[in-house]
Structure 1
Amino acid sequence: MKTIEWKDWEIFCRVVEGASFTKGADLADVPKSSASAAVSRLEVQLGVRLFERTTRRVRVTERGQQLYDRVAPLFNELREISAEAVSVSEQVSGTLRISTPYEVGSLHISPILTQLLRLHPELRVQVDVSWEQPDLVEQGYDLAFVMTTTGLHDSSFASKRVVRIERGFFAAPSLIRARGLPRTPQELAGWPLLGDAEDRRWEFLRDGVEVANMAVEPRMRTQSAEIRLKAATDGLGVARLSPRYAQDELDQGRLVRVLPAYSSSPLKVFVLMPARKLMPASVRAFLDVLERTLGTTDRQGAVDVGITG
């Protein structure tokens, strides 16, 4: 009986996942020539064609897909068993890579990292600022924080909602003096607005119930709440922000809360991770500090704290 070359099977799975020999080789951490040779050996051994190859693309065959569907879960389980064995005695060290929106990072991730690094001197952390939902595996992140008004994009990653963000409406006193204080959401029609990149409608809630909504065409769009806050204090328009983020400007009299009886639809912050179990010690340590820092979660697993939106 011929010896089974398990590395060839693993490379085959990676080529399927990467949809190309180049990407599959990167995922398997082997040269492209080695990936091609591994798949060829496997095809000869099995007597079946696993991929249809053209000059432009590589497509897995029906038989290849059937084999992948059976084999890939076995390799995933083997990797988890290996990670579990290592994590039992694993020291919290190495580099923890995190992706986060700026506002989440500055107000909440920063104090968590301070505690984490004090507890674990051998640990290093890399924090990248992004408002997009990254591919954790492809981009090499251990954790990613994502803000959304609805839910997450389709994702095979484990996730947990950790923060719900209250939002209100704010403007400079000079803008209020020029236009008068609005009493209802409808009176904001025609006002200059400052929104994020995806703002198409603003919702107005009383006691958590939506009572009105308004189509918006902001004069300035930016994902950065910091820029929207500055523009609002300069009198350029009404901004939708977290009350906590705007608090200093409110205290200094540089901003006024518009329609204070109303709030807007909350933002939700999720933390994503590649797997719920058998995670690296550094990820477990971070999540432990995060849970202690953010407080008690509600029945839906979310913490009510006012961070920027």
Structure 2
Amino acid sequence: MKTIDWKDWEIFCRVVEGGGFTQGAELAEVPKSSASAAVARLEGQLGARLFERTTRRVRVTQRGQQLYERVAPLFGALREVSAEAASFSDEVGGTIKIATPYEVGSQHLSPTLNRLLKQHPSLRVQLDVSWDQPDLIRHGYDLAFVMTDTNLSDSSFASKRVVLIERAFYAAPSLIRERGLPRTPQDLQGWPTVGNLDDTHWEFLRDRVETFSMDVEPRICTHNAEVRLKAAVDGLGVTRLSPRFVHEQLLQGQLVRVLPGYASSPLKVYVLMPARKLMPASVRAFLNALEETLGVPESARHPGLRPAGAGAEPALLADADAEPAVLTLN
């Protein structure tokens, strides 16, 4: 019986998932030429064309799609077996692959990662910046942090809400001199704004109660908080950011908090991970260090994660009824 090269099958699955040889090769962590050769070998062995290739695009054939749907779950199961087998070891080592928005990584994860790496010299961390919720299985992430101002969408991943990032409103002194000092949220109507890609309206909360909502059409829309910050400093519009993120600009007088008696709805930060039965020691150590850094009480800790139910608030690492660590960023 002819030996089956399962690596070729795995690369084939990655090319399907990546929508082409370039992205598929990146997912498989092989050169593009190797991915192309692997698929060609597989097509030769099967006597069937798996992809339609043109100069502009690569499209999986019907036969290729049928094979992918049967084979891909098997490789997913093998990766789960490998991860669970590795979790039996108590040694904190290897590489943790994490995806996170820039603000979360720079403001909240750095202390945890630095502390963990000092404690475990054989541990390595790959930190990728991503504002969208990535496919953990497809991209091989152990953990992914996502931000939202609503509840997390239904997910088959285990999840935990780890922090609330409070937000307030800021503008450059030059813009305030031009427009006048606002006394109420209604006074900001008509002001130029700098916002997130998802911003269509801003909520104004007083004592945690929403008192006003304002429609916004930002002049600059970006998930990158650094870009929004610089635009606000240059007087291009009022913006909504974390007080911690603008601390230096406030001290230097480059920004002023507008309507200091009001805040906006906080961003909820969740951490997602594949719903494995056993957690790798390195991931468990990271989550424990994260809770210690964010101030979750020792008595509230729980060793496992539960998958989030459809339409329900995701389960916490701590008691399911407990509030997450809230960073009041004043």
TM superposition score category, shorter chain reference: 0.7 to 0.9
Q: Map 1:57-76 onto structure 2 (within 5 A).
A: none
Do the aligned residues in 2 keep the contact of 1:161 with 1:269 (CA within 8 Å)?
A: yes
Measure the CA separation in 2 of the matches of 1:281 and 1:36.
39
Q: TM-score, with normalisation over the residues of structure 2?
A: 0.70
Superposed displacement of residue 175, structure 1:
1.5
Q: Which residue number in structure 2 is paired with residue 303 of structure 1?
A: 325
Q: Deviations for 1:102-160, whole angstroms, at most 9, x for unmatched residues?
A: 11111111111111111111111111111111001111211111111112333211111
TM-score using structure 1 length:
0.75
Give the match's secondary structure for 1:218: coil
Map Cα deviations across residues 12-59 of structure 1 (whole Å, 9 max, x no partner).
x99999999xx99x9999x99999999xxxxxxxxxxxxxxxxxx999
Change beyond 3 A, Cα 1:72–1:141: closer
Match of 1:242 in 2: 242
Shift in Å, 1:306: 4.9
The residue aligned with 1:113 is 113
Aligned match of 1:176: 176
Residue in 2 that maps onto 1:264: 264
CA–CA distance in structure 1, aligned partners of residues 252 and 228 of structure 2: 17
Aligned to 2:245, the other structure's residue is in SS state: helix
Change in CA separation of 1:34 and 1:195 when aligned onto 2, cut-off 3 Å: closer
Q: CA separation in 2, counterparts of 1:87 and 1:262? A: 46
How many Å apart are 1:273 and its aligned residue? 0.6
Q: Is the 8 A contact 2:171 2:235 kept in 1?
A: yes
In structure 2, stretches of 5+ residues that fail to align are 43-57, 63-68, 297-317
Alignment of 1:1-309 (within 5 A): 83-296=83-296, 299-306=321-328
- Matching residue's letter, 1:140: G
Letter in 1 for 2:206: R
Aligned length: 301
Determine which structure has more spread, i.e. the larger CA radius of gyration: 1
Q: Report SS of the residue matched to 2:155.
A: coil
- In the TM superposition, residue 88 of structure 1 has moved relative to its aligned partner by 2.3
Q: Compared with structure 1, are the counterparts of its residues 74 and 228 closer, same or farther at alpha carbon in structure 2 (3 Å cutoff)?
A: closer
Which amino acid letter does the alignment assign opposite residue 302 of structure 1?
P
C-alpha offsets along residues 206-235 of structure 1, whole Å, 9 cap, x if unaligned? 111111101101111121212212222222
Post-superposition CA distance 1:248-267 (Å, at most 9, x none): 22222222111111111111
Q: d(CA) in 1 for partners of 2:321 and 2:264?
A: 22
RMSD over aligned Cα atoms: 3.9
How far 1:94 moved relative to its partner?
1.9
Tell me the CA shift for residue 302 of structure 1.
2.1
Distance 1:147 1:307 in 2: 16
Unaligned runs of 5+ in 1: 39-56, 62-68
Q: Helix, strand or coil: the match of 1:235?
A: coil
Asked if structure 1 preserves the Cα contact closer than 8 Å seen for 2:27 and 2:139, the reply is no
How far apart, in 2, do the equivalents of 1:186 and 1:234 lie?
A: 23
Residue aligning to 2:54: none
Distance 2:27 2:216 in 1: 44
Q: 1:254 to 1:78 in 2, by over 3 A?
A: closer
Identity of aligned residues (%): 64
SS in 2 for 1:217: coil
Aligned equivalents of 1:87, 1:290: Cα separation in 2: 19
Q: Distance in 1 between matches of 2:101 and 2:146?
A: 7
Q: Report the residue type matching 2:225 in the other structure.
A: A
